[in-house]
Structure formats: structure tokens, C-alpha cells
Amino acid sequence: MRRLLCVHVFLCCLSMAHPFCPSQCTCVFHGRTDGAGSRSVVCNDPDMSDIPVNVPVDTVKLRIEKTMVRRIPTEAFYYLSDLRYLWITYNSISSVDTAGFYNLKVLHELRLDGNLISVFPWESLKEMPRLKTLDLHNNRITTVGNEAIPYFRSITYLDLSSNKLATLPSDLMDIWPPFNGAPISTDVSQKVVLGLQDNPWFCDCKISKLIELSKMTGTLVVLMDLYLACSGPENLAGVVFQRAELDNCVKPSVMTSATKITSPLGSNVLLRCDAAGFPTPTLYWAKSDGSLVNNTVQETPGEGIRWSIMSLHGILFKDAGNYSCKAKNVAGNAEATISISVDGDFTTTTLPLKPSIETEPTSKATTFTPPTDTPSSSTIRTTVLPTTSTTTTTTTTTTTTTTSAPKKPKTTTSNSLQKGSFKQPKTQQDSNGRKLAADEKSKKSDASKSVNDIKIVEETSDTAVLLWTAEGLPNDAPLTVVYSPYDDDDIKRTVETNAGSGKVLLEGLSSGARYSVCLVAKGSAAGKDPCIDFYTLDNLEDGGQSKLFIIISGMACALVLSLIALLLYKILALYCKGRGTGLDAEELEKDSYVKFETISMKHRTLNSHPTELWARRATHESERMLLCSRSSIDSQMTYKSDGSRSEYLC
């Protein structure tokens, strides 16, 4: 008995553990011979007003049809993790929460047709990564947001028919062939079915790709109804897509300045891309890996035209590759690719070191290779010269580089290298250190006093020539010319030269500015360097052109004003004369040069001359002369016949 009681209790508990079915729904379990199966739940009670919350957790298919349910709340199906088919059709749903479909990771089919949805939360589709069928037809949806485009890529059946859609995102059609650039395939499993009929479409460039798709055959995108029609604008109302022709809608076309470029290492590269289309396309550059290039400049010179320039400064080997210029507008996309390769390596251009410190100016540059066996390093000055073959000037620019000195110098020491590019006096070769120090100290104390008579000649707007005389200094004694804007020591420029040159050109100046220039000798005392101030000229040389322009402008204004005054005087005089005294017929006759008279034709008699012109009244002598002159000229221009002769009316 005890065993029978235990079996009875176990069976009761098992029956209680069996999942319950909602009172307003019908639950059906579809079993198989292997013991497995699936459960479907149908809820179609007209009095149901909320989504049921006690649906069995093993439900695979849930149908809620023809009820009074008005909204889908947050996480309404959270516990139905195995749900694959969700049909909520022909209810009164007008509101769908963004998180209403949370945790439906394996859902394949979602049908919400026959409801009152006007705004659908497209971002909720991310909770259904395996969704293949989305049916929203017969609702009140007005827009499809751009955020829906990524989630439409995996959907193979999309029905948006019988809504209130007037347009679609211009990028929507780019996710499907033939607009996504994928090769054409005949695989039926890759086909996409779109239901877009019965919507008030406004036919413009935004849906130009959809219109183009309706005219294609044999594509992987199949329209349920090929005869989509336009509702606007007025000139296209009622016209089917297959016959619609859009004005001012042109796909972009792209043209680049080159297709393949080979550039030396470290150089600067500029790439230009031009695009045309309507509406005006947008341009952007991308590398072969898809990353965007930021160092670009764009400009739109006119409607429908745009160009862009991409710059690469100091190009390296990692910059080699393909760069795509992509143009895009609502009518389509286009791109062009430029291939860049990098060639060569960096080279250092300096003068070679010699045993002696003195260097001669030259117009050719050579490459310096430091010695390998150097015990120590020292700082020396080497002159960098241009590689072009031009005439050598007396002014040279020096740069400081760090290199190694030879192990066993013959005539110089590391200290002498640091003193500059001039020959050592013979007294320094003496072994007497005191004499060497005394000569050096004497030279430092007198250096600043030996440069005098400095002055500026030949000023221009951006250059000036500095002259000086050096007394007591060797011609190859180094001098440093320091110049900067007046009262602005932050911007200083230097020019290295020697005392014997006596002349240097100052370049890179600003027009109409005040500058200070000083001559600094090696070893000179601080604050005792000779300095002068000077001004650069304005852009117009000596102001002559400016003065000439002012004089000519003044004369022209005076002449124009006098003519205007004379014209006003004449107009006022005529106006006053007509208003004051009036004009009679005789005065009009005197002022008139030509009178218009009625001329009649009178045939001649038998004994008279040929046809003559007779005026109705007598004319004055001046008028008679005018008529005589004109008649004579006219008569001479006629051709003579056998029975005619030249006639003069006077």
C-alpha cells in the first residue's frame, strides 16, 4: 500500500508540473514519434485586451488574432526564448514599445499586419537577429527610418504595402542587388520579396532606385506588384513606375587626375577627384581597408559639380596602396581608384669635411660620410648648399649638425672646429699657451669696434641691402647678421657671412615695416654690437603709382561732375523756357532743321517735264537746299534708260 501511495503522489505532482494554457487561448502540442515536438498557442478571444503573460515557455508559435489588444508593452515575450513564429494580426495595436520584442533571439517570422501602427520602432529589430519575415502591411506607417537599414539586410520577405509611405531612405536599395555591387546570382534562396504597393509614393530622386528596379527583369529583388504608381508630383500623378521619367535626377560620375602614381619617399602628394551629378553628390576618400581619409579639401563651384583634393605630406611606405574617391547622391553611387606606390629613400645633402676648416663656396652638393673610428663627438658647422647650378653669392646659410671628428687631426683640434670656418692665425700654432690666449682675448675685445659705417641701401618692399666696413679684422673673420621687426625679438633671423664681404642681402621682410639689424662678431662683448633701424617700402614703389592713380581719379571725377552740371543746366533752361513763354509755330520753324511736308504727285502735261514733286506750300531757302541736295543724290543713283535723263528737283 505504501508503494501505491507513493506512485499516486508522483503522478499528481507530474500532472501539476504540466504547463498551463491561458484561459482565453488554445494550446496545441505537436508531437513526433521520437518523443520531441513543438507547442503552438492561438489566442483569438474578442474580449482579450492585453498580451497574455502565462503562455507556456516551450511555445514555438504564438498567434494573437482579432482581439482588443492595443499595445505591445516592454518585454512582453521575454520568457518565450524558443519562440520562432509570432503573429499579432488584425488587432487594434497602435503602440509598440522599443523593448517589446526583447529576448526573441531565434524568432524567424514577425507579422503585425492589420493593425493601427503609425510609428514602428525599427531599432527593436536588433533583438531579432535571425528574423527573415517582417509583415507590416495594412497599417498606418508613414516613414521608414535610416536606422532600419542595417536590420533589413537579413530579411528576405518584407511587406510594407497598404501603408502611408511617400518615400524611402535613399540608401535602402543599396543593401540589395544590383545596387550593392554584388555579382548577379541565380540562387533562388538569395531572392528578396518586397511588398510596396498601395502607398502614396512621391516620385522624385529619393526613390529613383526603386523606380529603376521596377523596370529591371531577372533581378534577385522581386516586387509583389510591378505596377507601382506615383501619387505626386502633379505631372506624374497616376503614372506607373515603369513609365515614370524623373527630371533633374542624374547619377554621379567620377573622374580622377590620375590612376597610378609613383612618388619618392618623403615627398608630398596631391590627388584630385571631380564628380558631377544631380543633386550635387557628396565626395569622400577611403583607403583599401575601408577607413576614411581626413586630410581632404572640398569645394562646390556650381550646382551639380563638386571636387575634392586629398593631400599626403611626407609620404612613407605605409601610405602606399589604393585610394578610392567615392561620390554619392540619392540617384546613385560612383567611385574611382588611384594606386600609389612609394619609391626611393631619404638622402642627406651636406658638404664633406676636409682636414682644414676653410670651405669654398660651390654650386654642387655632395654627401658626407663620417669616419668610422671616432673616439669622441664634437659639434661642427657644415654649409648646406642648393643642388641647382646657379651663381654663388657672398652670403651662405649655415646649419649646425652633430658628427664625429677624425681620430688624429693633423692641423686642427676639436676646439678649433667649434670656432667657425676661418683659418687660424699662425700665432696659434705656437706652443706658448699664454701668447695664444693673449691674442684671442685681444681679438675678442676689439671685434665689435672694428665694424663700423653700417647702413642700409636699396630698400624694397621685402628685401634690403646692408653695407659695412671692417677695420682690423681679417677678411674671413665670421660675422653674424641678426635682424628682426622693431620691438619684437621673438621673430629673429640670422645670416652667417664674413667681415671682408662688406655686403649682405636681407630677405623675407614685410612691406612698410620697421626693422632692426645688428652685426655680431665672434667674441664681441655683450651689448656692444653695432645696430641700425630701417623701414621697408610699401608694395607700390615710392608711392608713385598711388599718387598717379589719385591724380587721374580726381581729374576724371572733376570732368564727370562738370558734364553732369552742364547737362542739368540745359535741361532746366529748356524746361523754364517752355513753361514761361510758350513756343509758337514760327519759333518751331526756326528751330527745326527739317520739316516733314505732305508731298503729292502731279502728272505733267504734254509739253511739261516728267513727273515732278510739288509741295503744298512754299518752303524756305534752307529747306529748298536740303531737298535739292537729297534729290540730286537720289537721281544720280538711278540707272539711265534710253528714253530717260537725269532729273534734279531744284
Mean pLDDT of 255-259: 90
Mean pLDDT of 421-447: 43
**Highest mean pLDDT range out of 464-473, 524-533, 628-637?**
464-473
Mean pLDDT of 74-103: 95
In sequence order, the β-bridge partners of residue 64 are 43, 88
Average pLDDT of the chain is 74
Yes or no: say if 332 and 170 are a contact pair by the CB < 8 Å rule.
Answer: no
Q: What pLDDT is recorded for position 524? A: 65
Among 262-276, 336-350, 394-408, 453-467, the range scoring the smallest mean pLDDT is 394-408
Confidence tier at 187 by pLDDT (50, 70, 90): low
Mean pLDDT of 210-225: 90
Distance CA 272, CA 259 (A): 11
The C-alpha angle with vertex 493 and arms to 492 and 498, in degrees rounded to 5, equals 135
Query: What is the helix, strand, coil percentage profile of the chain, to 5?
Result: 20, 30, 50
Q: What pLDDT is recorded for position 18? A: 46
Whether residue 437 is predicted with pLDDT greater than 50 in this model: the reply is no
- pLDDT tens per residue, range 606-647: 444 444 444 444 445 554 554 444 443 443 444 444 444 444
Mean pLDDT of 424-452: 46
Confidence tier at 288 by pLDDT (50, 70, 90): confident
- pLDDT tens per residue, range 577-603: 766 555 454 554 444 444 444 444 444
Residue of higher predicted confidence among 473 and 6: 473
Residue of higher predicted confidence among 536 and 83: 83
Whether residue 14 is predicted with pLDDT greater than 50 in this model: the reply is no
Query: Percent of the chain having pLDDT more than 90?
Result: 38
Q: What does DSSP assign to residue 363?
A: S
The one-letter amino acid code at 607 reads N
Residue 382's closest CA among 212, 518, 496?
496
Q: What pLDDT is recorded for position 526? A: 53
Whether residue 521 is predicted with pLDDT greater than 60 in this model: the reply is yes
Yes or no: say if 136 and 159 are a contact pair by the CB < 8 Å rule.
Answer: yes
The C-alpha angle with vertex 511 and arms to 505 and 512, in degrees rounded to 5, equals 115
Distance CA 382, CA 164 (A): 79
Yes or no: say if 496 and 397 are a contact pair by the CB < 8 Å rule.
Answer: yes
Distance CA 460, CA 509 (A): 9
